[in-house]
Chain A
Amino acid sequence: MDLNLSPEEVRFRDELRAWLLANVPPDWSAWREKPIEESFPYLRAWQRKLQEGRWAAVSWPKEYGGRGATLMQLAIFWEEMARVEAPPMANALGLGLIGPTIIAHGTEEQRKRFIPKILSAEEIWCQGFSEPNAGSDLASLQTEARLDGGHYVVNGQKVWTSYGWVGDWCELVVRTDANVPKHKGLTVLLVDMKSPGVEVRPLRQMTGETEFNEMFFHDVRVPVENVLGKVNDGWNVAVSTLMHERGAYGARLHPLFKRNINRLIELSRKFQKNGHTAAQDPLTRQKLAQCYAEIEIMRLNQLRAFSRISATGAPGPEGSIQKIFWSELNQRLQQIAQEIFGAYGQLLGGDSHAVDKGIWSYGYLRTRGNTIEAGTSEVQRSIIGHFVLGLPKSY
C-alpha cells in the first residue's frame, strides 16, 4: 500500500498538466450555460483536440488510440480535468462504456471500423438498453431482432437513452431468441442511427430538460457483421458495459463532488442560519463535515476498488457499492445545500436571486435521478447481496 504517486504517475500528471495548460479553451464558462444542442459542436471539437494529444481515452490500449493508462492514472486524469475546469467530452458513452465493450468483445474489423471515430467524436454513441417494460429487469426486454438473410430486422422501443438525439450509432440490446430463458436469448447489435425505421423522440424529465430520448425501431435492418460478441450472449456483453459504468464512474465524479462541497463551505459563510452564519451553526457544521468526509471516503473506496481491479483484471460486482455510494451521497450534498440556502434554494436559473445561477436548485432535482439511472439503488443492493455476499437470488 503506497498512495504516493509513482514516478510514472507524476510524469503522466505533469505531461497532462502541461498539455491542458496549453490547450484548454478559455471560453467554456460562457458556453456551458447554453443549451447542449448549441454547445455540442464545441464539445466535439474539444474532444477531437484532446485526442490529437491522445488524451480522450487514456485507459484504452495504445493500439486502439489510448495510452494504456492504469486505473490510477485514469483517476489522475479526471482529477486534472476537473482542476482546470475542462469541458466534458462529447462522446461520453462511446469513450466510457461502449468503446471498452467493443475492445473487449468486438472483432478486429469492428474495432478498426468504430474505435477511431469514437475517439475523434466523429461518431457519437448512445446506448439502447432500458425499455418501457424492462428497467431494473433489463433481461426481460422485448425489442426483437429477426434474422433475414444477412440482416437482423429490429422492432421495438427503447427509453431513457442519453445522447439519443445526437447519436450516430447505438449499442442496442435485442431479443434474438424468445424460446430460451430470458438472459440467454439476448444479443447486442451496433446500429447505425441513420438506418431507415429509426425514430428518436425527446423525453422530458423532471428538471424540465430533455437530456434523454425514446427510440423507436420499425423494421430496422442491421447487417449481421454488426453483432457485438456472440449471438445470444448479449447479456454478458451488456453486463460488461454496465460494470464499466459502475466501476470507474466514481473517479470521474469525485473531483466534481469535491468542488461542490468546497463551494458549499464557501457559501455557508454567507448564508444566515439561526442567528449566525451557516458556517457557525453547529448542526450545519456537522452535516458539512459528514459530507466532506463521505466525499473523501468515496475517493478512497474508488482507489481501493481500482487496486482490486488491477489485481483481478476486470471490474466486478463490488462496483455496485461505488454506484450506491456516489448517488446517495450526491443527494445528501444537495439536501445540505438546500438547508443552507433556505428559501433561496428553490430559485431557478433565470431568477436574479438564485444561488450560483440556479445550479443548486437544478442539482437538487437532477440528483433524484442518480439513484435510478445506471441501475437503481435497489438493483445494486440485490447485486451485492447475491453476487458479492452469496445470498440467494431475490428476484
Chain B
Amino acid sequence: MEFGLSESQEFLKDSARKFFAGECPSVEMHRLMETDTAYDDVLWSKITEQGYSGIIFEEAYGGVGLGKVELMLLMEEAGRALLPGPFFSTVALAGSVLDAVATPAHKNQYLAPICRGDVRATVALAEAKASWDLKDVQLSAADGKLTGEKLFVTDAAIADFIIVAARDGVFVVEPKARGLKISPMSGMDLTRKVYVVEFNNTPAEKIGSSADLSRAFDIASAALAAELVGGMQRTLDLTVEYAKTRKQFGKPIGMFQAVQHQCADMYLETESARSAVYYAGWALEENSPDATIAVSIAKMYASDAARTVGNRGIQIHGGMGFTWENDLHLYYRRAKASETAFGDATFHRERIARLVIDSGAASAKSA
C-alpha cells in the first residue's frame, strides 16, 4: 500500500501547476470571466498541446492513457488556478461519457478529436427538476429526434457537439442542428458558464445506452471534487498569507487563535477532501467494488468543505474578503456551482445511505 504520489504523478501535478500559473494567472482568469463564454482559443490550444485533453483516454484514440488519479491531479491544479473554459466539460465529462458508452466507431468520431484538441464538448443531463439522479431523466427521443429542455449545461455555447442523456439512450447533437436553442443562465460562477439547452424535434445521433452512464457520472463527480480541492488549497494559501501580513492591534492577525484555529480547520478540511478525492480516483481506476461509495464520499465531503473553507477564508480576510477585487469570492462562486453540480452533499449522503444502510454493505467491506 502506498498512498503517496509516484514520481511521475508528482511531476504531472507540478508541471500542471506551473503551466496553469503561467498560462492562466489571476489577471487572465479575470479577463476571461468578463467574456460571454469564459473561453479563449489560444489558452485552449495551449492546454490541448500539453496532452491534457486526452489524459485518461486510450492511446488508440490519441489519448495519453493515464489513470484517474492523474485526472484528479490535473483537475486539482486547474481548480487551484480557477481555470475558465471547457476543460471539465470536454474532458472529465463529455470524454468520460464517450469512453463509457460509445462504440469504437463513435469514439473515433467524437473522442479522438477531443484527445487531439480539435473540439470542445459538453454533456446535457439535468432537467427542470435539477435532479442529478440518472433515473430522473425525462427527455426521450422519437424517431431519432429530441424535444425538451436541459438545464445547467456547462459551456454549451462553445461546444462543437453536445452529448445528451435521454431515457432511451445517449445522443450527440450538433450545434447547428435544427430546433436547438442555447441560452445563457446567469450562474453565480463567472468562470464556467451554464446554459439552458432546448430541443425542438432536433435530430440527434444515438451513440450508446444511458444504462452505461453511471461510470462517467462517477468520474465527472470525482473530477469536480478534485477541482474543489484545488480551489480550497488556493483559498487556504491566500488566507494564511493574509493572516501573516495583515496587522491589527499591533500584531499579525494570524497570531490570534480565533483566526489561527480557523486556518487549522481549513487545512484539516482541505487535506481530508484531498485524501477522499485521491482515493476515489484510485478506486475508479482499479474498478474497486467500493468505487461508487468512494466517489460519493469525495463529492459529499468536498462539496461541504469547499463552502466552509470559502466561508472561513472570506471571514478571515475581513473587509478585504468582501471586495470584488479579491479573488476569494470567485473561488467561492465556483465552489457553490460545483457543490450542486452532479449532486450536492445531501444527494451523495443519500447515495451512501442506500449502499451502506439499505443493502447492508456496511458490514461487507472492511479494508
**Residues of A near any B CB (own CB < 8 A):** 1-6, 9, 72, 75, 79, 83, 255, 258, 261-262, 265-266, 268-269, 279, 282, 285-286, 288-290, 292-294, 296-297, 299-301, 303-304, 306-308, 310-311, 318, 320-321, 324-325, 378, 380-382, 384-386, 388-395
Contact among B240, B260, B353 with A285 in the assembled complex (CB-CB below 8 Å): B353
Contacts of A300 in B (CB 8 A): 3, 275-276, 278-279
Query: Contact: A394 with B1, CB < 8 Å?
Result: no
26 A-B pairs with CB atoms under 8 Å apart are: A1-B2, A2-B2, A3-B1, A6-B1, A9-B1, A79-B366, A255-B366, A265-B356, A268-B357, A288-B353, A292-B356, A293-B349, A301-B272, A301-B275, A310-B4, A321-B267, A321-B272, A324-B268, A382-B264, A384-B263, A384-B264, A388-B264, A391-B240, A391-B255, A392-B252, A394-B256
A1 to B30, CA, bound (A): 35
Query: Contact: B353 with A394, CB < 8 Å?
Result: no
Nearest-CB residue, chain B, relative to A296: B297
A258 to B366, CA, bound (A): 8
Nearest-CB residue, chain B, relative to A277: B357
> How many B residues touch the partner, as a band?
35 or more
B69 within 8 A of partner (CB):
yes
Nearest-CB residue, chain A, relative to B269: A321
Contacts of A290 in B (CB 8 A): 300, 349
Contacts of B352 in A (CB 8 A): 289, 292-293
Smallest beta-carbon distance A91→chain B, Å? 27
Query: Contact: B301 with A285, CB < 8 Å?
Result: no
Query: Contact: A285 with B357, CB < 8 Å?
Result: yes
B211 within 8 A of partner (CB):
no
Query: Contact: A390 with B3, CB < 8 Å?
Result: no
B178 within 8 A of partner (CB):
no
A198 to B42, CA, bound (A): 77
Contact A392-B349, Cβ < 8 Å, known A1-B282, A297-B301, A385-B254: no
Smallest beta-carbon distance A348→chain B, Å? 27
Query: Contact: A394 with B255, CB < 8 Å?
Result: yes
Give the number of A-B contacts (CB < 8 Å): 168
A349 to B1, CA, bound (A): 40
Contact among A72, A296, A391 with B1 in the assembled complex (CB-CB below 8 Å): A72
Smallest beta-carbon distance A84→chain B, Å? 12
A303 to B350, CA, bound (A): 26
Contacts of A395 in B (CB 8 A): 257
Nearest-CB residue, chain A, relative to B286: A4
Smallest beta-carbon distance B231→chain A, Å? 18
Contact A392-B255, Cβ < 8 Å, known A1-B2, A297-B297: yes
Contact A297-B265, Cβ < 8 Å, known A308-B4, A390-B240, A394-B257: no
Query: Contact: A392 with B362, CB < 8 Å?
Result: no
Query: Contact: B263 with A303, CB < 8 Å?
Result: no
B186 within 8 A of partner (CB):
no
Smallest beta-carbon distance A297→chain B, Å? 5
Other A-B contacts than A2-B282, A255-B366, A391-B254, 4 sampled, CB-CB below 8 A, are: A265-B357, A289-B352, A321-B267, A389-B263
A395 to B255, CA, bound (A): 8
Contact among B1, B276, B362 with A297 in the assembled complex (CB-CB below 8 Å): B276
Contacts of B6 in A (CB 8 A): 1
A17 to B327, CA, bound (A): 54
Contact A385-B263, Cβ < 8 Å, known A79-B366, A391-B244, A391-B254: yes
Smallest beta-carbon distance A114→chain B, Å? 32
A39 to B4, CA, bound (A): 41
Smallest beta-carbon distance B271→chain A, Å? 6
Contacts of A265 in B (CB 8 A): 356-357, 362
Contacts of B1 in A (CB 8 A): 2-6, 9, 72, 75, 303
B243 within 8 A of partner (CB):
yes
Smallest beta-carbon distance A254→chain B, Å? 10
Smallest beta-carbon distance B154→chain A, Å? 26
Proximity string of chain B (269-299) to chain A, C-beta cutoff 8 Å, 1 when within and 0 when not? 0011011101100100010000001101100
Nearest-CB residue, chain A, relative to B236: A389
A160 to B239, CA, bound (A): 37
Nearest-CB residue, chain B, relative to A386: B260
Nearest-CB residue, chain A, relative to B346: A286
B248 within 8 A of partner (CB):
no
Contacts of A325 in B (CB 8 A): 268, 272
Contact among A262, A301, A321, A391 with B260 in the assembled complex (CB-CB below 8 Å): A391
A390 to B255, CA, bound (A): 10
Contacts of A288 in B (CB 8 A): 353, 356-357
A215 to B15, CA, bound (A): 57
A286 to B300, CA, bound (A): 11
Nearest-CB residue, chain B, relative to A76: B1
A214 to B6, CA, bound (A): 49
A255 to B287, CA, bound (A): 24
Query: Contact: A378 with B3, CB < 8 Å?
Result: no
A288 to B9, CA, bound (A): 34
Contact A385-B261, Cβ < 8 Å, known A285-B350, A292-B356, A307-B2: yes
Contacts of B2 in A (CB 8 A): 1-3, 72, 307
Contacts of A6 in B (CB 8 A): 1
Most chain A CB within a 10 A radius of its CB, from B255, B261, B357: B357
Query: Contact: A382 with B257, CB < 8 Å?
Result: yes
Contacts of A261 in B (CB 8 A): 362
